[in-house]
Amino acid sequence: MFKPSFDPAAFLRDYWQKKPVLIRNPWAHWVNPVEPGELAGLACEDGVEARLIERTEQGLTLEQGPFLESQFAALGQDPWTLLVQAVDQHVPGVGALIDPFRFVPDWRIDDVMVSYATDGGGVGPHFDQYDVFLIQGLGRRRWRVGPLCDESTPLLPHEDLRLLADFVPIDDFVLEPGDMLYIPPGYAHDGIAIGDDCMTYSVGFRAPSRGEVVEGWAAHVVDGLIEDDRYTDPDLAPQANPGEIAPEALDRLYAMALEALSDRQGFAQWLGSHATMPKYPETDWSPEQPFDAQELADELELGTPLARNPASRFAFIRIEGGVTLFVDGQAYECTGPTARLAEALCAGDAPGPVPPGPPRELLLALLNSGALAFDGDDE
């Protein structure tokens, strides 16, 4: 549906995590993929993350969803913005916006947030800790881009929003429908709607912090350790001061910690599971009655296409003799035809003929977990 004309290799070389860039309408035929009323309807549903930001004389206020339809009708003349997360999981046309950006690995892709704003609406000057493509879907929005920020950048006191205390723009753009602005992590930016019915699609990317990786991996390692694996010092000798932690003890304890954490294969397995944990598991496609092997064979014989649950995350890591497929935190060891099937599923390709045996067993597991569905069954 969406095929941008910019060169991914040149973009990655010149701009990715380096500097912002405005790309004027790179789409062959831009079509706004979700209407404002449909977005407002999503914001009223349980399990959908939504926020409403109003700009008043006292400043910006934030309210969390889900909302009542009557709340939108009761909004006054003050500018306001509705933000809805993971719309790609609910509207296929919005989900299609991710495909052009899959030159970035899937495990880095987060979701597509959609905002609707009235004239003057916005979320205030801020900076994010992730890459984002801001695509103008409907109406016009003025974007001002500032310098690179970090944890020392002053923020305004606000209970709900991380707003910059001193925003000095260095670039100023007005985006029309189809225009796209890329913002790397840390760059200050501020978007203000020009006129009503302003819609922006934010294709965001994940970047785990060092603390998140260390904490998660260490906790995983600790879960696998046994209580009897303890510090020993059979060569202990008298020391001058009993209050000292001697260098030999420090070295031994440090080695214990590093040895436990220095398992690259184990780290790869943990990372695959961690990186594919679904952010919004509420989008459940698991069938009411589990598929069996005969039902699977019948659907494959009919050529019924498979669809991936948009809330599910797929990734794989190459291992000797095949791949480990990770889906929604679960690991599946795959070799031969099963490995080829796993790679096709991760690429989003049609799997083609699926032979009996382990490949069909993998499909059954993914169908019954809700990560896959035969097209039409997910309803």
Quick one: pLDDT at residue 283? Answer: 81
Quick one: pLDDT at residue 330? Answer: 97
Q: Which amino acid is at 233?
A: D
Quick one: pLDDT at residue 378? Answer: 46
pTM: 0.91
Q: Which two tokens stand for residue 233?
A: 């010092």
Instruction: Just give the CATH number of 8-205.
Output: 2.60.120.650
Quick one: pLDDT at residue 342? Answer: 97
What is the DSSP-derived secondary structure letter of residue 228? T
How big is the CA angle at 285 (ends 311 and 216), to the nearest 5 degrees?
45
Quick one: pLDDT at residue 59? Answer: 86
Could you count the other beta carbons within 10 Å of the beta carbon of residue 7? 11
The sheet with strand 314-319 has its strands ordered as 314-319, 322-327, 330-335
Which tens digits make up the pLDDT trace of 287-308? 989 999 999 999 999 999 999 9
Instruction: Just give the CATH number of 293-374.
Output: 3.40.366.30
Which tens digits make up the pLDDT trace of 194-243? 999 999 999 999 999 999 999 999 999 999 999 999 999 999 999 999 99
Bridge pairing between strands 187-205 and 109-117: antiparallel
Quick one: pLDDT at residue 1? Answer: 44
Quick one: pLDDT at residue 4? Answer: 62
In degrees and rounded to multiples of 5, residue 4 shows phi and psi of: -70, 150
In the predicted model, residues of the chain with pLDDT beneath 50 are 1, 378-379
Q: Three-state SS for 16? A: coil
Reference 87, options 41, 120, 139; nearest CA is: 41
Q: What H or E segment, with its residue span, contains residue 174?
A: strand 171-175
Residue boundaries of the structural domains of the chain: 8-205, 293-374
What is the DSSP-derived secondary structure letter of residue 320? T
Q: Three-state SS for 248? A: helix
